[in-house]
C-alpha cells in the first residue's frame, strides 16, 4: 500500500492511501474507522482512501497497527 499527499485544484490538501486488495465493505469500514480516529473527513472509492488534510504522519502508525505494510 502506498501513502501520499495531493493538492486538489481547489487548493485543498488530501492524504491518499492506495493499493488495497480487500473487499469493498471492509475498506469502507476501515475508512470510517480512520476518519473517526483522526477526526477528519474522507471517503473511499475506486480502491483509494482519501482523507482531508495532510495526515500522513498520523495515519501511518494506525495502518501499521492494523497490519498493513505502508510505503511512501
How distant, in Å, are the alpha carbons of 11, 14, 40 from that of 47?
23, 16, 19
pLDDT one-digit tens code per residue, 23-67: 889 999 999 999 999 999 999 998 899 999 999 999 999 999 988
Tell me the whole-structure pTM to 2 decimals. Answer: 0.88
pLDDT one-digit tens code per residue, 8-24: 898 899 999 998 877 88
> Distance between CA atoms of 1 and 58, rounded to whole angstroms?
16
Query: What architecture does CATH give domain 2-65?
Result: 2-Layer Sandwich (3.30)
Domain borders along the chain are 2-65
Q: What is the DSSP string of 10-63?
A: TS-EEEEEE---S-HHHHHHHHHHHHHHHT--EEEETTEEEEES--HHHHHHHH
Amino acid at each position: 500500500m502506498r501513502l501520499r499527499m495531493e493538492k486538489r485544484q481547489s487548493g485543498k490538501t488530501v492524504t491518499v492511501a492506495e493499493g488495497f486488495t480487500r473487499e469493498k465493505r471492509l475498506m469502507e469500514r476501515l475508512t470510517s474507522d480512520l476518519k473517526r480516529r483522526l477526526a477528519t473527513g474522507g471517503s473511499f472509492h475506486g480502491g483509494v482512501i482519501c482523507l482531508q488534510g495532510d495526515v500522513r504522519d498520523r495515519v501511518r502508525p494506525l495502518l501499521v497497527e492494523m497490519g498493513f505494510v505502508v510505503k511512501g
